[in-house]
Chain A
């Protein structure tokens, strides 16, 4: 398990719809905003890379000091962004794929408006469990 990891789902309108600090390290107050900054800045790179490949998993696309940003882009251009400091590409890929499944289940909910914030606590627990499993 990585010591620092921040997982964010960004809607196609660049709005974060789900955020979770999934690292094992103690949460630091200033780190949270740094994570947001790094992930937010990485959106530019995603924008460039997303159209160059047919794969959904874009691997590590950006880095800031020792923090790496891995991104997975769904067909609807929702971006799963993971900020991490470990290099476990296979684990991250599996993590993204499983989260994608969960996300599709959320999308299938007729009461969920695509692009709105994901507030399901079930989703949250599942994502955290996946993070423990793969990251």
Chain B
């Protein structure tokens, strides 16, 4: 380690622990000195510090050594007392405040921790700490328990102007005027005196002074008197380079010329005087005193005998004195003498001697329990050890001991603790034990918050400078220090420390810490009136989600207050409140494609594209590269998004409130730039280039502005998220750029958010292109075009399945030019269907009714039925300027569920724009269809008559409250005749189906075509009973016409949607079940009943296989079984109703069990679709077609239950025959019965195979080319005949 004396602590000690010279002077002396702007002490001070005095010193030992450094401290006698605490505090406070002002202005914050550490150490550590520490130590001077502040000598100064200077000298050292410390015995009043006569050369000639000097020498002795002549310069203009007095007069004004009357000779004279005073008088005096004291101490305390005596003596004293400060020692007590000896030795640099004396006295003080003195001695021992650089451990131990002892004294030793701590910390710092030093600084903190603040700040720097740097601790102590500063109203210091801590906490996730720091800095800046800076810091804490509700409220309130105080609206680029979800940004703009509603805009683009695929002219949708499109469209039009002047661009943005408290957001609007198209400037009426001005000058109401921006106000509850739609409407052609969004928080702060460099998730209406995100927000505004607005009137949002309802589509054209060539495509033709224009004003539901007298025209509409949901409006239809067009639509709620409806309408404009020739209008509706009636049909053949069928209809009302009135059941087509088996009144007297009620009805269905053998004899249409009235029979109300539009059209849609051919198959029958709902009370204003139609398609009976047969024969026979077995002849009539040649194979089984077995085999081995009577049921179909599979299952069951007596089929067990198309054959069958009983003759099966005559005629039948049929139950009763022959 370097020489301890050259360390900061060493230097400080050599400066502070030096002999004190008491100065006594007359007013004239002061007056003369003040001519130079200096007091006497200030005048002399620069010459009291000797860096190389080189004086031989001989203390206790005989070996002299040379003293190099020496310093005298000069004090007026009035200052030799313990400094006033309050004054000292005030002075320190002033020092700190001054530094605070100075540093605050020039402080520059390092933003990064690395920058912080890269600076040199001297720069990092504020220099004022040392100054402050020195001042702090000085507040403790002249304490009564220490001897190094005792005056060693007294300098008496008298001016030559004084009357009778010799007497004045005597007067000066009058005991009454001496400091109290000297008088009350704490200090030795018998000190060396030195007499100085000061002669001001301006006052007169020098010779008078020499005479006075001679008088003095006579009076006080030859050696102790001296004279100084000064103020030799007459004009006072001498300017000293490197002014030696500057450090000693801190409050000097810069303009003041210190020492102006002192020329070089004067300075030399003063210097020589001080040197002589030190080397010739003070040092020898001290040497001598040391020697004397040492001798005294040796005599009384050294040696074994003295020690025993001392110990015994002290033991005796123990009980008597117990004052808190220990016993009072006067200067001439032996303890004080030892202390003086030690301090003198210390001051003269004889540390060994000092240490031995300190050791000696410390045990004494300890035994006496004079704790303050003990601590003082321990402190000095520590310092001595340090300067000797011998034992670090001892030094530290002594310092700690002293520190703790002072601490034990409580408030009395408070300031001593501080001083001791400072020295200790300095000592540790010198030895690079910075961490320990920091702890010591921390321990110094006491009652005085201001001092604590400084100590804490010093501690923080210790942590920063330690290796490796302890940044966390650094930050923490800075913050602690800042808090203390704040408590003492040193706001500038507080801000400074907090700001220094920011780099440590930058980017930290310790959120509470970060909030605390920024919030307080903000608050304090606001206190200083620096609102701008305050706001920037407050912004950091604004979106603190983790804080409690009250804290969030506090933050927001303070922030708004500060903003208010600034008196202007702040524009903050990254305002965190509310949070904008940039990824949620959606730009909705309309080029060719326009939306009727906001709902339509939210639908996926691909859905629309697939819908519009075949109605948009392909040349624009998908251009051939061979076509020179650039001729038609300039390149830039293709590259940027197009929007139309006068039409609004919509931007959806999500705002989120991260806090728990509600916030109000107002004036949310887009920031846009619109510059008129430079190429079209010439003919554009508005040449003005609208640039950034638009950002500020846009208001929603200003018609003349080129941009119309919407403004939205909303408030967000805690944690709420809301999507806001903002619009911008360009009014002139040009290029529009959406720059960002701005909003006002609590009508105080304006937040801005730029979209520029954020990825934008667009929902574009135009072509998709790969662009940089910034160009996504750039739009080419073209001349205004006609834009149709569409609306469907009275489309219900919620309805019951089956609802049939006329609607009106209204298309209005607000522009100045007509549109034509309208086409419409509907995504779901089962639900919506375009009608004829003449139906527009038709009376509903009367228009659906059958008109008996009118020639059926319904089929005509179906002939030119549009293909694939595409509806062309008639050629002559166009929407003229500023008119609207109404078009009827039919609505039918086909299936229950949530049904989205997409409608797109294509139209063309005439010669308005070269860029856009057509546009589409997209409409989107969502329907909620509730289940209403569950209708199922079950068809079975009448075994006896193959042309007649039994129809069972089951209807269940599934609604919870509605009551349906059944109206009619109709079969579609003309080949079926339907009739009720029993009057409806008997099963449903009220004719209405209440909620939850179910109804079963039986009908007779007759195939009219089969019933008549020849095709020609089809009765006239009017006689066909294809409809059955289920309502009141006496009602003359007409049937609904299921064969005309719209019922027929909807029925076709139903069929096609279920994957069936539109052409009805001859073996299958479709039904339409129509009910009515009387809405008297609720929403419907009219009392016209709602019509509900339910469609069932392709009902077919199980046995409607192409082969049908009948077993005919006797039912009951009587037979005498004593005779040969009874033979029964039966006849089987087999009919082939198909158009193919059928080969039929009849197998008979005698054993019922084997029969059973075979059936099971047949059902398992054959795929279900080959079994007759099965048909796939579509899932969407709500009207279930139940076909009986019971036939197959019932038979085995019955067989197993009954124990059937044996009978056998006689003849061949297998018969094979071929049937021509539409022919009938008869086969004789015979059984043999052995015992009387009832027999079930169903144990036979029919295998049939179809060989089609010509392909393609019956596609539906083609796959059903073979089948297996189980025999019917045919019960034969055989009785024992009683008569015998």
In the bound assembly, the distance between CA atoms of A42 and B479 in angstroms comes to: 15
The residue that A41 contacts in the complex, of B472, B509, B548, with Cβ under 8 A, is B472
List the A side residues contacting B508 at CB < 8 Å.
14, 40
Complex interface residues of chain B between 492 and 511 (CB less than 8 A to chain A): 508-510
User: Interface readout for A3-25 with B: 1 if CB under 8 Å, 0 if not?
Assistant: 00000000000111000000000
Nearest-Cβ distance from residue A129 to partner chain B, whole angstroms: 23
Q: Once the chains bind, are A41 and B476 in contact (CB under 8 Å)?
A: yes
The residue of chain B having its C-beta at the shortest distance from the C-beta of A46 within the complex is B472
B475 within 8 A of A: yes
User: Interface readout for B1249-1274 with A: 1 if CB under 8 Å, 0 if not?
Assistant: 00000000000000000000000000
A interface residues, Cβ below 8 angstroms from B? 14-16, 29, 32-33, 36-38, 40-45
Closest 6 CB pairs of A and B: A41-B476, A44-B470, A33-B512, A15-B509, A44-B472, A36-B512
Q: Once the chains bind, are A44 and B463 in contact (CB under 8 Å)?
A: yes
The residue that A36 contacts in the complex, of B463, B510, B550, with Cβ under 8 A, is B510
List the B side residues contacting A38 at CB < 8 Å.
476
In the bound assembly, the distance between CA atoms of A2 and B738 in angstroms comes to: 59
Q: Once the chains bind, are A40 and B548 in contact (CB under 8 Å)?
A: no
- Interface size bracket, B side: 10 to 19
Q: Once the chains bind, are A36 and B548 in contact (CB under 8 Å)?
A: no
- 26 of the cross-chain contacts (CB-CB < 8 Å) are A15-B509, A16-B509, A29-B548, A29-B550, A29-B551, A33-B512, A33-B513, A33-B515, A36-B510, A36-B512, A36-B513, A37-B476, A37-B513, A37-B516, A40-B472, A40-B475, A40-B476, A40-B510, A40-B513, A41-B475, A41-B476, A41-B477, A42-B472, A44-B470, A45-B470, A45-B473
Q: Once the chains bind, are B471 and A44 in contact (CB under 8 Å)?
A: yes
In the bound assembly, the distance between CA atoms of A68 and B490 in angstroms comes to: 30
The residue of chain A having its C-beta at the shortest distance from the C-beta of B469 within the complex is A44
- Determine the main DSSP class of B at the interface with A: helix
List the A side residues contacting B471 at CB < 8 Å.
44
Nearest-Cβ distance from residue A44 to partner chain B, whole angstroms: 4
The residue that A44 contacts in the complex, of B473, B510, B550, with Cβ under 8 A, is B473
Nearest-Cβ distance from residue B486 to partner chain A, whole angstroms: 13
In the bound assembly, the distance between CA atoms of A36 and B509 in angstroms comes to: 11
Beyond A15-B509, A33-B512, 7 additional contacts (C-beta under 8 Å) are: A16-B510, A32-B512, A38-B476, A40-B510, A41-B475, A44-B470, A44-B471
In the bound assembly, the distance between CA atoms of A38 and B508 in angstroms comes to: 15
Complex interface residues of chain B between 802 and 830 (CB less than 8 A to chain A): none
List the B side residues contacting A43 at CB < 8 Å.
472
The residue that B516 contacts in the complex, of A14, A33, A42, A44, with Cβ under 8 A, is A33
List the B side residues contacting A14 at CB < 8 Å.
508
The residue of chain A having its C-beta at the shortest distance from the C-beta of B548 within the complex is A29
User: Interface readout for B546-557 with A: 1 if CB under 8 Å, 0 if not?
Assistant: 001011000000
Nearest-Cβ distance from residue A17 to partner chain B, whole angstroms: 9
Interface centre among B463, B470, B475, B476 (most CB of A within 10 A): B476
List the A side residues contacting B477 at CB < 8 Å.
41
In the bound assembly, the distance between CA atoms of A36 and B470 in angstroms comes to: 16
Nearest-Cβ distance from residue B985 to partner chain A, whole angstroms: 67
Complex interface residues of chain B between 436 and 495 (CB less than 8 A to chain A): 463, 470-473, 475-477, 479
List the B side residues contacting A32 at CB < 8 Å.
512
In the bound assembly, the distance between CA atoms of A41 and B513 in angstroms comes to: 11
The residue of chain A having its C-beta at the shortest distance from the C-beta of B505 within the complex is A40
In the bound assembly, the distance between CA atoms of A36 and B517 in angstroms comes to: 12
List the A side residues contacting B476 at CB < 8 Å.
37-38, 40-41
In the bound assembly, the distance between CA atoms of A16 and B472 in angstroms comes to: 14
In the bound assembly, the distance between CA atoms of A15 and B473 in angstroms comes to: 16
List the A side residues contacting B551 at CB < 8 Å.
29
Q: Once the chains bind, are A37 and B479 in contact (CB under 8 Å)?
A: yes
List the A side residues contacting B472 at CB < 8 Å.
40-44
In the bound assembly, the distance between CA atoms of A46 and B550 in angstroms comes to: 34
Interface centre among A14, A15, A43, A44 (most CB of B within 10 A): A44
The residue of chain B having its C-beta at the shortest distance from the C-beta of A30 within the complex is B516
In the bound assembly, the distance between CA atoms of A29 and B551 in angstroms comes to: 8
Nearest-Cβ distance from residue A22 to partner chain B, whole angstroms: 16
List the B side residues contacting A15 at CB < 8 Å.
509
Nearest-Cβ distance from residue A23 to partner chain B, whole angstroms: 16
Nearest-Cβ distance from residue A116 to partner chain B, whole angstroms: 11
User: Interface readout for B1057-1096 with A: 1 if CB under 8 Å, 0 if not?
Assistant: 0000000000000000000000000000000000000000
